[in-house]
Structure 1
Amino acid sequence: MVRDYSAFLPGGKPPRREPTALEGLGWGPAFASQIDAGALTETPPVRVVAVHRSGLQVVGDGIDETIPPGPEATVGDWLLYDRARPRSSRVLERKSLIKRRAPGTGREVQLIAANIDTVFVVTSCNQDFNVARLERYVALAFEAGIEPVIVLTKADLAEDPTPYVEEARKVSDRVPVVALDARGEEPTAALADWCKPGRTVAFLGSSGVGKSTLTNALLGTQAIATQGIREDDARGRHTTTRRELHATPGGCLVLDTPGMRELQLTDAAAGIADVFEDIEALAAKCRFADCRHETEPGCAVQTVIENDSLDPARLARWRKLQAEDAFNSSSLAERREKDRAFGKLVRSAVKAKADRDR
């Protein structure tokens, strides 16, 4: 037997070390730096792997529990697990957070997932393909500080997937585009660069685009149920009903999410600017700082549109997302200000009553 002594030589490769249980769940320096050695024993770190109506399913080193609702956490969060008072478990500072305005008429924020390294924005090479939706999802990822990758499924069923790929690449020069067949072994090879051990990836997109099929491909199982699309409009049916982390054989964690019928952006101005950085750069060259890019003289944006170098539809989508984000963000800011004012009023009333009772 030939022994490998390279690790003992200058510049030799270090001996391979198996990841710890926590590292296998995505634990790293960004989280370890937030706690001291004593806290590791008293309140061991656990990761939220699923959110149920009954509470949060958390997993750690020798821990697999469901704790009651209490911590404001979402899938992917790391908690310092307080066994005596689970509701008081502390959420560690996140590397990233995906959120949206909750569906409905309110202005609540819904947390989607935390501590994701890469978001695969999934759509199909069929009637489901929609550039505006892709821009929206990519803006969400950019705002969260997450690397986005556009994944086009059902490429094997399209006569020619090239037009879909070309349109997807127009979303942003910073976003890779991958076209594939979601079934079989192709996703494992095509997405390998992003699915490294210890990393956490998420599939986002509408129903029926193949998110669960992709997750099954990476897991090497058929553990997650899938359904076909409606033939008349290529729309999907909801299969996944909750957000849950799954561990792949290669050591990557995968989040499969339910399809989102509504994705309202909030507090995402920077993410929108990143997606439309071409328009943002042009707008900075306009003669007037408050240019609306319509009929103003010296408008650099309209000049480029007249030269057929910018699609007017892209400008319209930029305006729409900006207006939506401004409305949702200002509404949330106003609500938070009202909450602070109400809290101050309550504290003043309590203090006044305490002074009277003395």
Structure 2
Amino acid sequence: MTSMNYSLAELGWRPVFLQQLTLDELETGRAARVTAVHRDRLEWLDETGAHNWLISGPWRHAEAEDRPTLGDWLWLDAAGEPQRLLERQTLLRRTASGTEPKPQLIAANLDTLLIVASCNADFNLSRLERYLALALDAGVDPVIVLTKADLADDMEAFRDQAQTLRAGLPVVCLDARQDWATDALAPWLTPGQSLALVGSSGVGKTTLTNSLIGEQRFFTAAIREDDAKGRHTTTQRQMVRTQAGAWIMDTPGMRELRLGDSISGVSAVFDDIETLAQQCRFGDCSHQGDAGCAVAAAIESGELDARRLRSYQKLQREAVHASETAWQKRRRYRAFGKLVKQSQKIRSSD
């Protein structure tokens, strides 16, 4: 890691963090920002330089959301030991895959989320909607970045499709290998700003990061020709400084992206559908052929794409499921178990 010293303002410090501190803390400690997360250690930067810390003590056994993640601000004591985690202003998270999914933190205190997709067979509107829901639920401003624009026969067609996802959504088309990528993203790269890159493997996140920082620091791998999908190249979460003075957080590609409890984010992405739903004749309209359904009428007239409704319903189900408490889930599983047993009894009696 670089040994260059940065001021707190250059690291992205905001007055809201200062308001969380006591006078005693201000007199004896200092702030540090997490710049890399490994399995058992953290890297951070403060005004004295770069530091590497082995996670120990209560931090090692803390719940997932209480452990430091990329972009977090820590308050250190005079000896440089972390004392507490400052309250996050934004938090980007997902639900990890597995039979017992748990929340997984991606990055904290972000200003902008660059949602990277490529102008090829990997382009997928439903996947972009998932990322948008994550960003809006976290309170982070989303920007769609379409890479490999130089290889597309009709770049504007991809741009037009992406802009249908949300009114006023910024969509930037670029070739991540070119120097002008920095110029194209200049509005979001001002000094002290924090950004993260998300998108499936092979869309050009690592290449774009290298262009923005001005050096080939990270390894990239070519995409497969048969399906335009890439191989995973980023293996750790890390925060690096761009040539413009902003900080960009590079995260591993995520093929399976579970939303978690992002009901508000889903509502924000599909606010057009929710507005239409308010015009349905019945309040509990399922939008599946119900009489007086304004959503169905919008699809019939061409005002609303049927794909978008399917995506909305799928993400809404995921978000509602993830928002259930553990007690609610146990209750639902028990009810399902009783139903199965009753069915088995009926079959055995026939």
Matching of residue 24 in structure 1 with residue 10 in structure 2: yes
Show the counterpart of 1:76. Answer: 71
Q: Distance in 2 between matches of 1:94 and 1:333?
A: 28
Q: Distance in 1 between matches of 2:84 and 2:327?
A: 25
- Tell whether the 8 Å contact from 1:46 to 1:63 is kept in structure 2 after alignment: no
- Tell whether the 8 Å contact from 1:124 to 1:154 is kept in structure 2 after alignment: yes
Stretch deviating more after TM superposition (161-170 or 124-133) = 161-170
- Tell whether the 8 Å contact from 1:150 to 1:176 is kept in structure 2 after alignment: yes
Show the counterpart of 1:206. Answer: 200
Q: Distance in 2 between matches of 1:336 and 1:251?
A: 49
Matching of residue 296 in structure 1 with residue 290 in structure 2: yes
Matching of residue 54 in structure 1 with residue 54 in structure 2: no
Letter in 1 for 2:72: D
Matching of residue 277 in structure 1 with residue 271 in structure 2: yes
Stretch deviating more after TM superposition (248-257 or 90-99) = 248-257
Q: Out of 139, 142, 145, which is 1:148 matched to?
A: 142
Q: Out of 29, 32, 35, which is 2:21 matched to?
A: 35
Where does the alignment leave 5 or more consecutive residues of structure 2 unmatched?
60-65, 332-350
| CA distance 1:83–1:226, shift in 2 (3 Å) | farther
| CA distance 1:253–1:163, shift in 2 (3 Å) | same
Show the counterpart of 2:168. Answer: 174
- Per the normalisation by structure 1, the TM-score is 0.85
**3-state DSSP of counterpart to 2:104:** strand
1:333 CA displacement:
7.0
Identity rate of aligned residues, in percent?
Answer: 48
- Tell whether the 8 Å contact from 1:149 to 1:175 is kept in structure 2 after alignment: yes
**3-state DSSP of counterpart to 1:89:** strand
**3-state DSSP of counterpart to 1:49:** strand
Q: Distance in 1 between matches of 2:324 and 2:29?
A: 38
Matching of residue 330 in structure 1 with residue 336 in structure 2: no
- Number of aligned residue pairs: give it: 318
Show the counterpart of 2:340. Answer: none
Q: Out of 145, 154, 159, which is 1:160 matched to?
A: 154
Deviations along 1:131-175, whole A, 9 cap, x unmatched?
Answer: 000000011000000000000000001111121111111111131
- Tell whether the 8 Å contact from 1:228 to 1:236 is kept in structure 2 after alignment: yes
**3-state DSSP of counterpart to 1:156:** helix
Show the counterpart of 1:250. Answer: 244
Q: Distance in 2 between matches of 1:308 and 1:220?
A: 45
Letter in 2 for 1:105: T
- Tell whether the 8 Å contact from 2:38 to 2:237 is kept in structure 1 after alignment: no
| CA distance 1:155–1:57, shift in 2 (3 Å) | same
- Tell whether the 8 Å contact from 2:6 to 2:49 is kept in structure 1 after alignment: no
| CA distance 1:150–1:73, shift in 2 (3 Å) | same
Deviation above 6 Å: which 4+ runs of structure 1? none
Letter in 2 for 1:202: A
| CA distance 1:333–1:20, shift in 2 (3 Å) | farther
Letter in 2 for 1:39: E
**3-state DSSP of counterpart to 2:290:** coil
Where does the alignment leave 5 or more consecutive residues of structure 1 unmatched?
1-18, 338-358
Q: Distance in 1 between matches of 2:91 and 2:191?
A: 20
- Tell whether the 8 Å contact from 1:108 to 1:332 is kept in structure 2 after alignment: no
- Tell whether the 8 Å contact from 2:280 to 2:292 is kept in structure 1 after alignment: yes
- Tell whether the 8 Å contact from 1:107 to 1:328 is kept in structure 2 after alignment: no
- Per the normalisation by structure 2, the TM-score is 0.87
1:56 CA displacement:
1.3
Q: Distance in 2 between matches of 1:75 and 1:335?
A: 31
1:43 CA displacement:
2.7
1:85 CA displacement:
8.7
Q: Distance in 2 between matches of 1:143 and 1:285?
A: 25
Q: Distance in 2 between matches of 1:311 and 1:183?
A: 34
Deviations along 1:103-151, whole A, 9 cap, x unmatched?
Answer: 1111310001000100010000001100000000011000000000000
